[in-house]
């Protein structure tokens, strides 16, 4: 079973409890080239297996290979680029097989010791020995025990020969032959690990990051676009697997999340807001704007800016003239920089947090709207269809605010200049229209339906203009 979607025309718009997904159609806007549109398919592990099997068959035919195992290893090594494999193989088969660690160019080990196993140190009949393409012979029992340990540690396509320094890989058929008779569970785990490895190297497949979800997303090209798993309904960025983050790109959002989690900001705060008393070295926090400090420990009066005795500051009570003349005094510049950096971060962080909070509050509001509609319909004040526009408005509000929230990390990392100015102008405009929409929706009883509709169009227009100008395709 497979399930194709384009994120801009989802069919389950009004599905309850799944708030952000609802891309309310504003007919006039959605038809224009939607910069967020992205075609993807949501497929099952079985679909993926079929896809890999077809690719392997294809290559086996094209190169007239004897073993499917070789084709599979070549494809895995060259990121499932069939054309590249064919070209390389036709030009230089030995080198291609060596690159994929299937066959080694140089060694051909002697088989003199084929009755002594280097691993269990036992003398055995030669019929009990197995080897990979490299010819390093070990007994079947040792191979099986070795494979069990390797699979137990989560390895599959990377399992290599047991011989020291030999990096020839074990084909799937070789592994299965030894472990399948021993344990069906082990076999199943091995096959699952293999499939996961192949998906990781495949340039058109992505795991769904949803909890316990086995689904795989299939796209033409992996981009930082929004996809929604049709099995578990998780929405995510197809490129990085995190929450969708337009207009910020994957790297920016990763930096931002790391920054927010990082304690170094707290450290910055401490260095910007605390100093040691110059007399008794107790750590003092500055909490007011006044530079005249008195140490709570030793009652020494000093100047925050220059750490000098306050008595020498004479009548200029609120300004440190010494600091004015020499801003580098007492390493103040380091502290000032830290303070500036922190102020900047807090500015963006507060807005980021604030919009996240608003999103949660508006979700509560949406539930209220839902209840109100139910009551009205029960009281025969119109039908469900009559009131649907309120839910559409709530969905659009969420969508716009979600984008607005992600404009703050984007702006934080933007270099100062005309581009940043333009961005912040558009951001401010979007913010204003969103607050407008939120205000009107909260007072929907008294707002004209047409007025609300207009505000929806305006807000979405602002959002799409911002994305069009700043979201890299």
In the complex, minimum distance from the CB of residue 171 to other proteins, in angstroms, rounded to a whole number:
19
Residue 147 is a binding residue for Zn ion (CB under 5 A): no
d(CA 217, CA 208): 6
How many Cα atoms occupy the beta-carbon half-sphere of 395 within 13 Å?
20
> Which residues are CB-neighbours of 28 under 8 A, at least 6 positions away?
457
**In this complex, which beta carbon is closest to other proteins, that of residue 145 or of residue 457?**
145
Nearer to other proteins, 145 or 336 (CB): 145
Closest CB to Zn ion among residues 91, 125: 125
What is the closest distance, in whole angstroms, from the C-beta atom of residue 397 to other proteins in the complex? Answer: 53
**Closer of 280 and 341 to Zn ion (Cβ):** 280
Q: Is there binding between residue 235 and Zn ion (CB under 5 A)? A: no
HSE of 148 in the Cβ direction (CA atoms, 13 Å)?
A: 14
CA angle 299, 301, 306 (to 5 degrees): 135
Which range in 60-68, 232-240, 378-386, 430-438 contacts Zn ion by CB under 5 A? 232-240
Which entry of other proteins, Zn ion, none binds 318, CB below 5 to 8 A by partner kind?
A: none
Residue 107 interacts with Zn ion (CB under 5 A): yes or no: no
User: What is the C-alpha separation between 441 and 452, in angstroms, rounded?
Assistant: 7
Residues 165-194 that bind Zn ion (CB under 5 A): 166, 168
C-alpha 291/C-alpha 275 separation (Å) is 12
Structure tokens at 352: 């980021």
- Options 22-30, 316-324, 352-360, 455-463: segment touching Zn ion (CB under 5 A): 316-324
| Smallest distance, Zn ion to C-beta of residue 179, A | 16
Token pair of 191, please?
């096959």
Q: Is residue 49 exposed (0-12), middle (13-18) or buried (19+ Cβ within 10 Å)?
A: middle
| Contact (CB, 8 A) for 27 and 197 | no
In the bound state with other proteins, the residue whose beta carbon lies nearer, of 119 and 234, is 119
Among 99, 180, 213, 336, binds Zn ion (CB under 5 A): 213
Span near Zn ion by CB under 5 A; candidates 270-278, 347-355, 380-388, 413-421 = 270-278
> Does residue 240 contact residue 224 with C-beta atoms inside 8 Å?
yes
Task: Rule CB under 5 A: say whether 279 interacts with Zn ion.
Answer: yes
Give the residue with the Cβ less far from Zn ion, 283 or 432.
283
Catalytic residue among 166, 290, 295, 303: 290
Instruction: Name the binder of 358 from other proteins, Zn ion, none, CB < 5-8 A by kind.
Output: none
- Options 63, 102, 208, 246; binder of Zn ion; rule CB under 5 A: 208
Q: Which helix (H) or strand (E) holds 276?
A: strand 274-276
- Nearer to other proteins by Cβ, of 145 and 458: the residue is 145
Peptide bond into 7 cis (omega under 30): no
Partner touching 164 among Zn ion, other proteins, none, CB below 5 to 8 Å by kind: other proteins
Alpha-carbon span 213 to 180, nearest angstrom: 26
Separation of alpha carbons 196 and 173, rounded Å: 17
Tokens (6 digits) for 325: 């003349």
Closer to other proteins at the Cβ: 111 or 337? 111
CB of 144 to other proteins, least distance (A): 9
Among 43, 55, 224, 398, binds Zn ion (CB under 5 A): 224
Residue 239 touches which of other proteins, Zn ion, none (Cβ within 5-8 Å per kind): Zn ion
Least distance from other proteins to the Cβ atom of residue 166, Å: 8
Q: What are phi and psi of 422, to 5 degrees?
A: -60, -45
List CB contacts of 419: < 8 A, sequence separation 6 or more.
none
Give the number of C-alpha atoms closer than 13 A to the C-alpha of residue 223, restricted to the C-beta side. 15
Give the C-alpha separation, 92 to 105, whole Å. 12
C-beta separation of 2 from 42 below 8 A: yes
290 assigned to active site: yes
Site for Zn ion in 18-77 (CB under 5 A): none
Interface residues with other proteins (CB under 8 A)? 118-122, 138, 141-142, 145-146, 148-150, 162-165
Which residues are registered as beta bridge partners of 160?
169
Return the closest-CA partner of residue 276 out of 261, 297, 247: 297
280: partner contacted, choices other proteins, Zn ion, none (Cβ within 5-8 A by kind):
Zn ion
Catalytic amino acids?
290
Contacting positions for Zn ion (CB under 5 A) = 117, 119-120, 134, 136, 139, 142, 161, 163, 166, 168, 208, 210, 213, 215, 224, 229, 231-232, 234, 237, 239-240, 250, 277, 279-280, 295, 297-298, 300, 303, 305-306, 308, 320, 322
């Amino acid at each position: 079973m497979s399930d194709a979607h384009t994120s801009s025309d989802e069919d389950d718009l009004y599905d309850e409890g799944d708030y952000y997904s609802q891309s309310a159609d504003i007919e006039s806007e959605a038809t224009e080239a939607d910069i967020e549109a992205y075609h993807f398919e949501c497929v099952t592990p079985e679909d993926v297996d079929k896809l890999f099997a077809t690719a392997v068959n294809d290559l086996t035919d094209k190169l007239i290979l004897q073993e499917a195992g070789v084709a599979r290893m070549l494809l895995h090594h060259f990121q499932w680029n069939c054309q590249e494999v064919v070209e390389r193989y036709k030009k230089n088969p030995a080198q291609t097989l060596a690159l994929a660690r299937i066959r080694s160019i140089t060694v051909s080990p002697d088989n003199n010791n084929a009755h002594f196993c280097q691993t269990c140190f036992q003398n055995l009949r030669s019929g009990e020995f197995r080897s990979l393409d490299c010819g390093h012979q070990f007994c079947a029992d040792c191979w099986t025990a070795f494979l069990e340990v390797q699979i137990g540690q989560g390895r599959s396509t990377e399992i290599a020969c047991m011989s020291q320094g030999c990096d020839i890989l074990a084909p799937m058929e070789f592994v299965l032959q030894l472990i399948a008779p021993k344990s069906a569970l082990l076999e199943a785990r091995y096959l699952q690990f293999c499939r996961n490895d192949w998906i990781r190297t495949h340039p058109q497949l992505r795991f769904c990051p949803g909890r316990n979800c086995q689904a795989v997303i299939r796209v033409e090209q992996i981009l930082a676009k929004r996809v929604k798993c049709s099995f578990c309904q998780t929405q995510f960025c197809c490129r990085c697997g995190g929450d969708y983050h337009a207009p910020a790109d994957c790297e920016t959002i990763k930096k931002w999340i790391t920054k927010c989690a990082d304690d170094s900001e707290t450290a910055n705060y401490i260095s910007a807001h605390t100093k040691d008393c110059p007399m008794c070295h107790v750590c003092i926090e500055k909490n007011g704007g006044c530079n005249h400090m008195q140490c709570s420990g030793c009652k020494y009066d000093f100047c925050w800016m220059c750490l000098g005795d306050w008595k020498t500051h004479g009548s200029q009570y609120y300004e440190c003239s010494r600091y004015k003349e020499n801003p580098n005094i007492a390493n103040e510049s380091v502290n000032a920089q830290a303070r500036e950096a922190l102020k900047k971060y807090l500015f963006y962080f507060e807005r980021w947090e604030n919009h996240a909070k608003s999103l949660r509050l508006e979700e509560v509001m949406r539930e209220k709207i839902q209840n109100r509609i139910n009551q009205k319909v029960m009281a025969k004040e119109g039908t469900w269809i009559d009131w649907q526009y309120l839910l559409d408005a709530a969905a659009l509000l969420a969508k716009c605010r979600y984008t607005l929230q992600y404009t703050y990390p984007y702006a934080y990392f933007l270099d100062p200049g005309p581009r940043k100015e333009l961005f912040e102008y558009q951001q401010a405009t979007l913010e204003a229209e969103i607050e407008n929409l939120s205000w009107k929706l909260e007072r929907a009883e008294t707002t004209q339906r047409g007025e609300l509709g207009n505000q929806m169009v305006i807000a979405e227009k602002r959002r799409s203009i911002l994305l069009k100008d700043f979201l890299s395709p």
